[in-house]
């Protein structure tokens, strides 16, 4: 499910960016956040293609709404919130359409495309995460993977800190139970 990219087609290796040329500060800042955004998208969604689509939608919306971002506030929280809301809308729309995620589609996320680090246990984590309710998964991802404080994570999700705390604990316990079985 890899996307063909020009860099691959031309036989060159794709590389990461360090100093973008001729970009305004907003776009430059977003460029710097791209790896993190992609990681968050992978945490929210089920596979890499879905995650890249989610990133793409988020970037487009962010560029359209750039005047709504207040200079001096944290851009990462702003765009995480946007991505999270886009994802939740997508989940709701699928639920309305009666689509559900098939078990087989889950859990092949990171390792499949990730190269060297791919291993048997990677699939276990993806599969365990995929079984969590959205609200627990996002709490776990925001705190344990993205490293946000409970307060910041609660702000992104739009819930009280105590709620975030209890979702995190429930999600964590479910993961520990699943991974404990797998270990």
Partner 1 sequence: MTPTPEQVAAWADGQLEGAEALAVEAAVRASPALQAEVAAHKALRDRLAAHFAPLMRQPPNLDHLKTLTGADNVTALPVRRARPRWVWLAGPALAASVALAVVLRPSPPPAGYAGSQLAAMLDNQLVADQQPGGARRILLSFRARSGAFCRAFADGASAGIACRDGQGWKLEGAGAPGAGSGEYRQAGSAQEIMQQAQDMAAGDALGPQEEAQARKAGWLAPK
Point out which residues bind partner 1 (CB under 8 A).
3, 5-7, 12-25, 27-28, 30-31, 34-36, 38-39, 42-43, 52, 55-56, 59-60, 63, 110, 113-117, 122, 125-126, 140-141, 143-145, 147, 149-151, 162, 165-166, 168-169, 172-173, 175-176, 179
Cβ proximity to partner 1: between 20 and 158 the closer is 20
Please report how close the Cβ of residue 121 comes to partner 1 at its closest, in angstroms. 8
- Say if residues 156 and 142 touch (Cβ distance below 8 Å): yes
Please report how close the Cβ of residue 123 comes to partner 1 at its closest, in angstroms. 10
- Say if residues 65 and 79 touch (Cβ distance below 8 Å): no
The burial of 67, by beta-carbon neighbours within 10 Å (0-12 exposed, 13-18 middle, 19 or more buried), is given as exposed
DSSP code string of 114-181: HGGG--HHHHHHHHHHHTS-HHHHHHHIIIIIS---HHHHHHHHTS-HHHHHHHHHHHHHHHHHHHHH
Cβ proximity to partner 1: between 36 and 81 the closer is 36
Please report how close the Cβ of residue 165 comes to partner 1 at its closest, in angstroms. 5
Nearest Cα neighbor of 57 from 44, 73, 41 is: 41
Distance, CA of 97 to CA of 66 (rounded, Å):
31
Please report how close the Cβ of residue 97 comes to partner 1 at its closest, in angstroms. 25
Cβ proximity to partner 1: between 13 and 96 the closer is 13
Cβ proximity to partner 1: between 66 and 74 the closer is 66
Please report how close the Cβ of residue 158 comes to partner 1 at its closest, in angstroms. 18
Cβ proximity to partner 1: between 105 and 173 the closer is 173
Distance, CA of 63 to CA of 24 (rounded, Å):
11
């Amino acid at each position: 499910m890899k996307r063909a990219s020009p860099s691959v087609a031309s036989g060159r290796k794709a590389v990461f960016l360090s100093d973008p040329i001729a970009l305004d500060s907003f776009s430059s800042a977003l460029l710097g956040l791209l790896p993190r955004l992609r990681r968050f998208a992978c945490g929210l969604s089920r596979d890499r293609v879905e995650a890249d689509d989610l990133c793409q939608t988020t970037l487009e919306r962010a560029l359209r709404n750039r005047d709504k971002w207040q200079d001096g506030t944290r851009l990462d929280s702003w765009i995480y919130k946007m991505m999270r809301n886009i994802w939740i809308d997508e989940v709701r729309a699928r639920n309305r359409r009666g689509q559900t995620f098939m078990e087989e589609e889950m859990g092949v996320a990171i390792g499949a495309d990730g190269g060297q680090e791919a291993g048997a246990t990677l699939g276990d984590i993806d599969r365990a995460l995929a079984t969590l309710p959205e609200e627990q998964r996002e709490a776990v991802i925001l705190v344990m993977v993205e490293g946000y404080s409970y307060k910041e994570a609660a702000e992104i999700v739009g819930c009280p800190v105590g709620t975030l705390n209890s979702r995190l604990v429930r999600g964590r316990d479910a993961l520990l139970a699943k991974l404990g079985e797998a270990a």
